[in-house]
Amino acid sequence: MRENLEGKAAIVFGGSRGIGAAIAVRLAQEGADVALTYVSSPDRAAATAKLIEAEGRTALPLHADSADADAVQAAARQAAERLGRLDIAVINAGVLALGAIEDASLADLDRSLEINLRGVFLAIQAAQKHMGAGGRIITIGSNTANRAVAGSSIYGMTKSAVGALVRSAALDLAPRGITVNNVQPGPIRTDMTREAIDWLVPRIPLGRVGEPEEVGGLVAYLARPETGYMTGASITVDGGMSL
């Protein structure tokens, strides 16, 4: 694979499994050293780190809860210190709360806002401190920002807000040459979707769910030098569901 990111240093918040792990490995395949955060999956974080090291890159697993502001700041700082700097930050950590609005609990609402929105804000704020011109910040949103789905009022609300946050952050960081973009996946083959695949496939125009590696490829593209003129964008990858 062409090493478009040779010599770059990246951090993937929520990079131990699923989409986050695929992103971390793809960045390593393209030449980046990668730090990745995890909360409850140390074994899977270690496994992802081994895949990164198998590409000849440095891997740095870091325990950090995206709801903990101090932990997020510490993770960004440790990654920059150990890897020399930060060129790329991918913010993937998130939770999924489903249910009709009349049944939604306050706990689900608060946790979703804490991780899916506040956590993204904190990670952008933490990562940008260690970036110079050419820095890339990429958030992982959802196609529920584009389309209403019954039972996803909390999740869709938080992911819609991420798109607005990205647009404003892009303006704030543009004078420093740092870009901020948002990737909005639809159904992707992960632990989260495994039991719903049979229900999902007939609703996807391309007739299949996506693979984590397909999201990883898009993220890697946004991290490359040739995408330096794109900022504040939300790009949907959902097999045509949002059309």
Catalytic residues: 155
Other C-beta atoms lying within 10 Å of the C-beta of residue 151: 14
Is residue 59 within 8 Å of residue 36, measured between CB atoms? Answer: yes
| Cα gap 45→211, rounded to integer Å | 19
From 83, 97, 94, select the one nearest 33 (Cα to Cα).
Answer: 83
End-to-end CA distance of the chain: 32
State both tokens at 181: 């973009």
Q: Which residue has the tokens 């970036």?
A: 131
**CA angle at residue 16 from 224 to 114, to 5 degrees?**
90
| Cα gap 224→134, rounded to integer Å | 9
Q: Using DSSP, state whether 36 is helix, strand or coil.
A: strand
Is residue 21 within 8 Å of residue 44, measured between CB atoms? Answer: yes
Burial grade of 103 (CB within 10 A; 0-12, 13-18, 19 or more): exposed
Residue count (the chain): 243
Is residue 55 within 8 Å of residue 42, measured between CB atoms? Answer: no
From 142, 139, 135, select the one nearest 157 (Cα to Cα).
Answer: 142
